[in-house]
Amino acid sequence: MKVAIVGFGKIARDQHVPAIANSGAFELAATASRHAHAEGLPAYPDIEALLAAEPDIAAIALCQPPQVRHAAARAAIAAGRHVFLEKPPGATLSEVVDLARAADDAGVTLFASWHSRFAAGVESARDWLAGRTIRSIRIDWKEDVRHWHPGQQWIWEPGGLGVFDPGINALSILTRLLRGPVRLEAATLEFPANRDAPIAATLAMRTTEGAPIAADFDWRQTGPQTWDIVVETDAGMLRLAEGGNRLFVDGVERPLPAEGEYPALYARFARLVADGRSDVDVAPLRLVADAFLAGRRTATAAFED
């Protein structure tokens, strides 16, 4: 199946292009981006031009910032194309619900992807936790924004999520590990004086059974970076490290499958299209929305790139 990428930025180049190239199911056929293109392929300035010129491209991967993704997704769905949404699936919950409905009505697949759910250790961790009683969960997601998001203005604007842009990856793993819904109780959000999105946040949540979940997201960490989830249970301690890609049980590392996150995402997208289904889980975005709804806001030092 031919696929086009819209928004040819960092994640499109780093992950989507190689994952599509190595996928047996997809062939990259074009891009739509204002300032960039893939060498040797048809390139369009925007999705409308792409959709009009390329009726044979059946699938569209949307890799722009979340603030502009809804309009593009609506256009692709209206043109009868299957849609792969980068995470987060939108800037608001209601626009994602709108897309899910539109895809259903049009009979096309909508895949709201959460790449961290496809990290190597997540399914093994979910299996290990089944049948155990969780006592507490601790999430530390701390990285250097200057290293990972240099010059990305959209990430600091309303709808860009700030530190929740990486933090939502932790929440996507959390909501996959647990079998019941997670409830947010309280949050604090630190906004730089000159920015519209938080640079740090803490979340207090609970599992369905009442076990506490504490999450600490921070974009000011220099030196070693931390993407860890630790689960204390009645029968041992589980630690997912490096964004879900390494798994330890009581301190002993477990061997994991080698498939990367994006190849697994494209394999999932291919299966959904073949089965005529969609996959739209808003649970991680709902927790972020709740943190913005219920969180206490504080001002912190201005941030310059």
Q: Which helix (H) or strand (E) holds 13?
A: none
Please identify which residue in 82, 87, 117, 176 interacts with ligand NAP, judged by CB under 6 A: 87
Which residues are CB-contacts of 192 (< 8 A; sequence separation ≥ 6)?
A: 199, 299, 300, 301, 302, 303
Residue 204 found at the interface with ligand NAP (CB under 6 A): no
Min dist. Cβ of residue 11 to ligand NAP (A)? 4
Is the Cβ–Cβ distance between 278 and 85 less than 8 Å?
Answer: no
Nearest approach in angstroms of CB 73 to ligand NAP is 13
Site for ligand NAP, residues 96 to 125, rule: CB under 6 A: 115
Q: Is 142 a catalytic residue?
A: no
Q: Is 11 in the site for ligand NAP (CB under 6 A)?
A: yes
Site size toward ligand NAP (CB under 6 A) is 21
State the Cα–Cα distance between residues 189 and 204, nearest whole angstrom. 12
Q: Candidates 59-67, 129-137, 183-191, 226-234 — which segment interacts with ligand NAP by CB under 6 A? A: 59-67
**Residues 266, 19: contact at Cβ < 8 Å?**
yes
CB-nearer residue toward ligand NAP: 192 or 284: 284
Please give the helix or strand (H or E) that residue 59 lies within, else none.
strand 59-62
Hey, what are 128's tokens?
Answer: 């290990």
- Determine which residue in the list 23, 33, 109, 175 makes contact with ligand NAP, applying CB under 6 A: 33
Question: What CA–CA distance (Å, rounded) separates 265 from 249?
Answer: 26
**Least distance from ligand NAP to the Cβ atom of residue 46, Å:** 8
CB of 98 to ligand NAP, least distance (A): 18
Residue from 64, 175, 207, 278 in contact with ligand NAP (CB under 6 A): 64
Candidates 57, 63, 125, 200: give the one binding ligand NAP (CB under 6 A).
63
Residues 6+ apart with CB under 8 A from 219: 142, 143, 144, 145, 162, 163, 166, 199, 200
Q: How many residues does the chain have?
A: 305
Rounded to whole angstroms, the Cα distance separating 35 from 7 reads: 9
How far apart are CB 197 and ligand NAP at their closest, in Å?
Answer: 12
Cα angle: 153, vertex 155, 159; to 5 degrees: 120
Q: Are 283 and 181 in contact (CB under 8 A)?
A: yes
Q: Which two structure tokens, joined as six digits, stand for 147?
A: 């290293």
Residue 79 sits at φ, ψ, to 5 deg, of -90, 10
The tokens for 247 are 């798994």
| Interface map 148-167 toward ligand NAP (x if CB under 6 A) | ----x-x----------x--
Min CB(8)–ligand NAP separation in Å: 5
Residue type, 276: G
> Which C-beta is closer to ligand NAP: that of 148 or that of 248?
148
Interface segment toward ligand NAP; rule CB under 6 A; list 29-37, 187-195, 205-213, 268-276:
29-37
Q: Which of 10, 179, 277, 297 binds ligand NAP (CB under 6 A)?
A: 10
Task: Indicate which single residue of 18, 21, 27, 36 sits in contact with ligand NAP (rule: CB under 6 A).
Answer: 36
Residues near ligand NAP (CB under 6 A): 7-12, 33-36, 63-66, 68, 86-87, 115, 152, 154, 165
| Catalytic residue numbers, as ranges | 87
